[in-house]
Amino acid sequence: MDVRQLFAPPAPGATLTIDLGDISGPEPAPAPTPVPRYVLRALRTAAVALLVAFAVGGAAPGASHLITPLWTRQASLAGFALGSVNLAMSDPGAKALAGRDVATGAPRWQLPTADPPQYTIPAVGGGGLVAVVLRNVDSAGFDDVNDSTITLLVTEDGALLSRLPGNQVSTMPTSSLMLVSTGRDPTVLDCPPGAEVCTEMVAFDVGARREVWRRVLPGLLVAAVAGNDGPLTRFATYQRDGTVEIRDPATGDVTRTVRPPVRSATATPQLLLVGDTLVAATRGEDRAMLDAIAVGPNGRDWTASLPVGRTVTASTARFYLAGCGRFVCLHADGADAVFDVDTGAPHGQVGYQVVGQVGGALIAVPSAEQPGTPQSRRVVYLLNAADVQRTDTFADTVVVWWRDNDGRVLLAHQGSAGTLFSVIDARGDRHFLGTVAASDLVCAATGAILVCSDPVGLVRAWRLPLGPVSL
């Protein structure tokens, strides 16, 4: 699983794929059968989305500022989704999703559900939008009647935005609307004539709580992240013949068509839309080629290349593009190569997954191809963005998802005395925040509020003492 979109402050145009596969830590609840890709691209997007639901242990002893929680509540093991002012969760065994005030835990709303929630997940970049996966107890109205789950999209204030079949839903926030790919099998869709594959897309105005348009589009949805100049103002679909259609989020209509250079007669290019620039990567015999095409006024044209191994094994076969901070990363041979998104200039290659950026430092974690257990892979690396040289290593550490973070990164460190939290600011200074006397926590933060759930579903919130002295 690509953990990148599970990390870091979500970019305005980050795509979240709700893929509940390997999360390298205790799952919020037993997985439905089967659970496909679901918080995957959920987590590396970029300009980075530090949405981490990793299990963390404790930290070294020290002065603790996180002793008395603001509130405590027993919840189900379906997890929680943190908005800016409300938190969505469910009580044990309850057929309902409940919204609670982040700072006080006071009840704000309740949404009845047909079955107890199995997963509760925040939609990255979704303005508090929550995805709730349930067992499908009523297949009426769905073509794919064998699907065992449904996904509810719920606004932060508890309004049901949509009810979609399955658990393959992915979200793509744009400057105008929230785009949602339902992930439904093309065999049950009414694909346009001549289309080999197609994608069902729905566009929502989340603020107005309404569906704006729903279409079955020819081709596959291209992964997209916001550019350095603002949120996404377009999206793209890919045809099997190599054509890429650039589309208007407001209508879904095609605004232009481009065709990346054909670099191989057999290899399918990997595509990533970064703002107004479409990047295509193709793996050749001993070299990968990257071609950037301007598809909007702020787009750039450039070409770059990367040496790759002649032999591809099961452990090095993963080949894809992803946003990584203010850069674009090509993952090949178990390592990330970092390129400037405006010029294509290479910044270096490292055997890690780059999942975010804070100031002039890139945030990285062990590559999925590296051997080890979930516990041994709890490592965070800081890299110099100029040359991707490693500048610091934090063992027994994970990155905590933190919305409204003011350009900072929140870390959770393991140890025998509990879980220690520290923050790295945009200047690179590290500050100690305090220790929670608990282990194996799933945590997220919004502003100055930290919320964590333990392995039995006990949810607690603390106010972060932001602004202490540097370590």
CATH number of 16-463: 2.130.10
> Mean per-residue pLDDT for 57-69?
59
Interacting residues of 248 by C-beta distance below 8 A, sequence separation 6+: 234, 255
Rounded to the nearest angstrom, the gap between the alpha carbon of residue 152 and the centroid of all alpha carbons in its chain is 18
The string of pLDDT tens digits covering residues 416-430 is 888 999 999 988 889
Residue with more model confidence, 263 or 139: 263
3-state SS assignment for residue 291: strand
Q: What is the share, in percent, of the chain residues with pLDDT greater than 70?
A: 82
The DSSP code sequence of 268-297 is PPEEEEETTEEEEEEE-SSEEEEEEEE-ST
6-10, 403-407, 458-462: which has the highest mean pLDDT? 458-462
Q: Write out the two tokens for 275.
A: 């703002």
Q: How many CA atoms lie within 13 A of 51 on its CB side?
A: 35
The string of pLDDT tens digits covering residues 271-295 is 999 999 999 999 999 999 999 999 9
Where do the structural domains in the chain lie, given as residue ranges? 16-463
Q: Is 70 exceeded by the pLDDT of residue 467?
A: no
* Least trusted range by pLDDT, from 57-61, 405-409, 438-442, 462-466: 57-61
CB atoms closer than 10 angstroms to residue 420: 25
4-13, 15-24, 116-125, 355-364: which has the highest mean pLDDT? 355-364
